[in-house]
Amino acid sequence: MSFLEPISEEFCEGNVIKGRRLAKIIRAEIKEEVARLTELHGYPPKLVTVLVGDDPGSAMYVRMKHKACNKVGIASESHNLPADTSQEELLSLIYRLNKDVTVHGILVQLPLPRHIDEETIISAIDPNKDVDGFSPRNIYRLFYGGEMLSSATPQGIATILDSLNVNLTGKHAVIINRSTIVGKPLIMLLLNRNMTVTVCHSKTKDLASFTRQADVLITAIGRRKSEDDPYFITADMVKEGAIVIDVATPLGDVDFENVRCKASYITPVPGGVGPMTITMLLKNVLAAYSFDAAQTNVFTMDAISFGGYLT
């Protein structure tokens, strides 16, 4: 697969990055690779999701992941457990899935109920099946430059940037988000691309003084500023010619229509980063399966991961 080739004409409309189009291009490549490897090995890649409780938002995300798997030929199975499932019960399911040779990817949907310790659960997942990239070993791999099983949303952002025909080296990226799932892994992915990275968050003073310096501005605040003045990122906060990536859902952080006039590229909400996230999950399942099928051990996985294979 060749996700690194710049194909911006195929997925941009003017300066608007159409994430759905890019996702479609990459999913078609994944589908082809899944078919080829399924034929070669005689069995398909398989993702198992685990959902604890009945949060409708989480249930919807999990359904979307299964649907996406199905469309590219990845087998999937769901375990929907009641909200009062104990930590021990959940751990024993994970140990079972770790040992199951027909399972290549394990995804425990977050957040978990309060009585379950997320870190304990995530750490229990076999790192070579951890398609979320949340486990300690995959975070360690990311620190050493390996991106193969890294968090899906940051990978989606990095893939958008890689696919634009721009030189990122030495450019200033400003990230507004410091979460474990988005902001922190994204720092590593952007450093790997030789960018200078600044991270802002809810306690940052004078946010605009940072955003105005950004060649690439990535924002994931995800709430309204106020009723009359909803957007955190307005045109006066953006440098002329910046690339603006809005990760916030379901409503963007960026005053899209006005910022669009200043940006060299901009992602819309919806239809920007969102479709890329599940695509990167599919890519991770395929990567986990490929290595398992090749019967590599953890050391080989690390060696290849550090080389940035498949990114």
Return the number of the residue (126 or 132) whose C-beta is nearest ligand GUN. Answer: 132
Q: Is 126 in the site for ligand GUN (CB under 6 A)?
A: no
Q: Is 112 in the site for ligand GUN (CB under 6 A)?
A: no
Task: Tell me how crowded residue 108 is: count the other CB atoms within 10 A of its CB.
Answer: 24
Q: CB of residue 285 vs ligand GUN: minimum separation in angstroms?
A: 13
Candidate segments 105-113, 136-144, 190-198, 201-209, binder of ligand GUN by CB under 6 A: 105-113
Q: Is 87 a catalytic residue?
A: no
Candidate segments 20-28, 104-112, 261-269, 289-297, binder of ligand GUN by CB under 6 A: 104-112
- Beta strand 16-17 with 12-13 is antiparallel
Q: Is 160 in the site for ligand GUN (CB under 6 A)?
A: no
Q: Is 130 in the site for ligand GUN (CB under 6 A)?
A: no
End-to-end CA distance of the chain: give it in Å, rounded.
9
Q: Is 31 a catalytic residue?
A: no
Options 12, 152, 216, 217; binder of ligand GUN; rule CB under 6 A: 152
Return the number of the residue (109 or 150) whose C-beta is nearest ligand GUN. Answer: 109
Q: CB of residue 111 vs ligand GUN: minimum separation in angstroms?
A: 7
Q: Is 138 in the site for ligand GUN (CB under 6 A)?
A: no
Q: Cα 272 vs. chain centroid, distance in angstroms?
A: 13
Q: Is 109 a catalytic residue?
A: yes
Instruction: In whole angstroms, give the CA distance from residue 123 to residue 26.
Output: 30
Options 69, 72, 148, 181; binder of ligand GUN; rule CB under 6 A: 181
Options 76, 109, 211, 219; binder of ligand GUN; rule CB under 6 A: 109
Task: Tell me how crowded residue 208 is: count the other CB atoms within 10 A of its CB.
Answer: 13
Cβ atoms of 109 and 50 closer than 8 Å: yes
Options 126, 130, 132, 162; binder of ligand GUN; rule CB under 6 A: 132
Sheet arrangement for strand 46-52: 75-81, 46-52, 105-108
Options 17, 26, 30, 107; binder of ligand GUN; rule CB under 6 A: 107
Burial 143-160 (b: 16+ CB within 10 A, else e): eeebbbbbbbbbbbbbbb
Candidate segments 103-111, 159-167, 202-210, 251-259, binder of ligand GUN by CB under 6 A: 103-111
Q: In sequence order, what DSSP letters do the residues of 127-157 get, joined into one string?
A: TTTBTT--SHHHHHHHHTT--TT--HHHHHH
Residues that are catalytic: 65, 109, 132
Q: Binding residues for ligand GUN, per CB under 6 A?
A: 107-110, 132, 152, 181
